[in-house]
Structure 1
């Protein structure tokens, strides 16, 4: 069995070995640029972990794992355009460095390249793998659209938010694991259980991300703490606060949400103080732990030796206990 770091390194090396055509340079250079910005390579590593879990050959899983990484970065490239984001992993986003048109077209090529990599699985599992990949790709796009819809709505329920993050974030973890399981010749039941593990882990991961955005250490979190508060992003924390706040608390929270001109630090501190009064952090952590438990419950049912499960369990712990 391989460690998480070993699998991440395998992916990182494989990404660096991808060769891109030299012309038209404006099409391929942005792809190479974004892929080289790094990241933790967790999603493609999941493909390898799942294959390894069932005793499969991770060499067979490298191309599909790269497909997951290519697809993930394609979504980031297009998401950055939609969000008008200037920075990605500490560097200018593709649309800022080149243009929106370049970023759209380069992203389209990344999606096609993801398919070219994904079809490099054994013929006998190709249909099953593509069914998982197609479903996952569509759901990720659905999640992004729902997230954008939320920006135009005044009210979003907890149930709607959880479904959005399931689609936008969690299904890609589940899909990556299920594809890896199929490559490792897992039974249908084990592959489905692993998908459930990944999906629930993804929900816990995103809820933890919401919490860290407010309560994380800026140096460990790797980005500005309080960004969600400043942008009025409808996270679990804000939705829950709006649900529970009454009287002056609700008046003050609504005022901060509607205020156009404000000192960022002042707004973050004021909203955070209100969250503390409403016990929002604890409530968020409880829901996050519920999804983590659902993930582990599914994982325990997978019929593989306990020794084989250690890497994925370590991965799960790393995601839900992380500080960045």
Structure 2
């Protein structure tokens, strides 16, 4: 039931139109969350590069990013998240959660966990989309609630982007002159940004995982049907996580760091999900996996300078 649609007369295609609007709003919330994450990581990594003479090239690359490409990235990501179905979005969230837990347990913290924050961009967008879809399912005023969520997410994204622009432009001057309160706060406490983001993402993905399981299970009419889906999915995810960990701990890890084959890792992950859904999924799911691959690569394209900074830490 749609909030605004319930106040209008029944017209052909009206319900479909409100469903599309809700999907776009959920996608925009997810894209704004990704923008907040990238802006805060940009602040942290810029300060780290500023303190390291060997990372001046990465610092200049992050400073060179302009507002228009960032806005374009948000809009494109919003469209991708809106088109990806809740089933595939839920699978992406579950896959990343398993991989993140395995990575943190086996590789520890530091620059690797900072890079993991960058790699979760698309999964974060899918997680918020899944969570909102699950929590607002059947709500009488879901469209209005999504509108409020978009307003809050847009406000946070705007202020986070302004903070990143301020830091990239004036932090070096203000931190030396002890002039700006924001820059002085970052000078004293900026090292805690990754820890803050990890805690926020842990809560977000915990809710998203519960929502993802609920969204997937609602399509099954019996326990046997659910078992036929979850059994190969669990095996596929276990093998995929084991393969990713083997790649990270192998000789290549020592040569170039975990970020050296990030696009290849994305292709392997989405390729495994693609093959799995060819077997037990629907044709729409296969198309949504291809869109998810595009979304992952699009997020990585905008974070190239930050990934390079993470590799050098």
Shorter-chain TM-score tier:
0.3 to 0.5
Q: RCO (CA 8 Å, sep 6+): is it higher in 1 or 2?
A: 2
Task: From the two aligned structures, give the one with the greater helix fraction.
Answer: 2
TM-score by length of 1: 0.34
